Amino acid sequence: MIKKEYFGKAPEGGDVYAYTLENDSGVSAKITNFGGIIISLWVKDKNGERRDIVCGFDDLDGYLQADGYQGALIGRVTNRISGASFQLDGKTYTLCPNFGTFSAHGGKIGWNRRIWGARPIDGDEPSLVLTYVSPDMEEGYPGTLVVTVTYQITAAGGLSLHYEAYTDKKTILNMTNHAYFNLDGYDAGSVAEQVMWIDADTMNEHDADIIPTGKILPVQGTPYDFTTPKAIGKNFDSDSDMEKQAGGYDNNYIFNNYDGQLHLRASLYSEASGIKMQVHTNQPCIGIYTANMLSPDDVPFKGGVKQMPRGAVCFETQKMPDAVHHPEFTDTTLSPGEYYNYTTVFQFKTEF
């Protein structure tokens, strides 16, 4: 089943709609064609009650006024690009330094603030196919990109995101979704007690601006080691320089034995709700962000709930941040004739 409802008027005048996708799996999602934002994601807990497990706002104004990229598609390039510029085949491209001296999450007007074409497809696994044509030199990036992102509620009770893109000129591309998850409900407070696992023995070192230094670090024996499941908050306030700089976790983990195929790569579990989320992806990395910069002074979430730091966690499947400045990193270039083709599935289960 798919329900379509009016959600507001975008700043440039276009109509924004919200689409609710639901089937018999017990999982349903509300997604808007403005930025491909996941407004709500309902999952049944161990008592059979539905909980909305992603942060978000009641109306379009909330998304326009607030920071944080809540639930949105990020593009062309997620996370930070140092110096707000890059070189490609000997030519320098200048980007908007929308965060200090660097560019982040697509620039001044990223894909999170664009209206996407929307095509709902009903059925046992209802889908919303979102399309966007990013013109040559939008936000300083070369090439006209044709992008498709398909959201689908699977029969097995998951939310699948399939990313596709083509370009007519060599460019860089590293997309993700920036949903903030709390398996006890977006209004439940800290995620410190929720248990996380990540299939990654290594991670990128970052500096005070959360930009990779180029060094790859082992996680074993550090506060960043989630190779054995542990509570997210166990080492929240460690003496690690990176945690002090970020106010919590804001790190890119590099998956083990990457082969380009879809694999189970991370999980999150709440004993309180009994909800377990498994993250399957064919991306090489995942950015883990524990909502460190959310503030009670910012725009309230749905129902007037105050934002709070560490009240959610993002699972941003991606390639390495700032890869365009590090030839040894995962390649984020896309050339004409190549097919950008990645999938991430958030699979839900209930454990008693």
Please give the model's pTM, rounded to 2 decimal places.
0.96
The arithmetic mean of pLDDT across residues 237-241, rounded, is: 75
Could you tell me what percentage of the chain is helix, strand and coil, using 3-state DSSP and rounding each to the nearest 5? 10, 45, 50
Residue 63: how many other CB atoms lie within 10 Å: 26
Q: Which amino acid would we find at residue 196?
A: M
Q: What per-residue confidence (pLDDT) applies to 71?
A: 98
**pLDDT value, residue 240:** 76
Encode pLDDT of 209-232 as tens digits. Answer: 899 999 999 999 999 999 999 999
> What pLDDT, in 10s, does the model give residues 290-309?
999 999 999 999 999 999 99
Nearest alpha carbon to residue 308 among 319, 322, 293: 293
Whether residue 30 has pLDDT greater than 90: yes
Q: How many domains does the chain have?
A: 1
What Rg do the C-alpha atoms of the chain give, in angstroms?
19
Domain residues for the domain of 183 are 2-350
CB–CB of 213/309 below 8 Å?
Answer: no
Query: What is the percent of the chain with per-residue pLDDT over 90, rounded to a whole number?
Result: 93
pLDDT reading at 124 higher than 90: yes
Cis before 114? omega within 30: no
Residue 101's pLDDT band (cuts 50, 70, 90): very high
pLDDT at 239: 73
Please pick, among 138, 139, 243, 316, the residue that the annotation labels catalytic. Answer: 316
Mean pLDDT confidence for 196-206:
97
Angle at 170 between CA 147 and CA 345, to 5 degrees: 35
Alpha-carbon 44 to chain mean position? 22
Contact 117, 134 (CB under 8 A): no
Reply yes or no on whether the pLDDT at 136 is more than 90: yes
d(Cα 206, Cα 212) in Å, to the nearest integer? Answer: 4
Query: How many CA atoms lie within 13 Å of 325's alpha carbon, on the beta-carbon side?
Result: 17
Residue 289 Rama label (left phi>0; alpha psi -120 to 50; beta): beta
Mean pLDDT computed over every residue of the chain: 96
Query: Is 263 one of the catalytic residues?
Result: no
| Residue 205 annotated among the catalytic residues of the structure | no
Q: What confidence tier does 24 reach under pLDDT thresholds 50, 70, 90? A: very high
Which of the residues 105, 138, 178, 243 is marked catalytic?
Answer: 178
Which of the residue ranges 10-14, 137-141, 175-179, 334-338 would you say has the lowest mean pLDDT? 10-14
Helix, strand counts (H, E) of the chain: 2, 28
Six-digit token pair at 352?
Answer: 């008693």
Residue 11 has pLDDT above 80, yes or no: yes
CATH number of residue 7's parent domain: 2.70.98.10
Dump pLDDT digits (tens) for 249-274: 999 999 999 999 999 999 999 999 99
Percent of the chain with pLDDT over 70: 100
8 contacts 60 by C-beta, under 8 angstroms: yes
User: Is the pLDDT confidence value at 242 over 90?
Assistant: no
Residue (of 180, 212, 203) closest to 252 by Cα position: 203
Q: Which tops the pLDDT comparison, 258 or 67?
A: 258
pLDDT at 214: 95
The residues that bridge with 342 in the sheet, in sequence order, are 163
CA 342 to CA 274: how far, in whole Å?
29
**Rounded-to-integer distance, Cα 315 and Cα 182, Å:** 11
Amino acid at 224: Y
- Residue 196: what pLDDT? 98
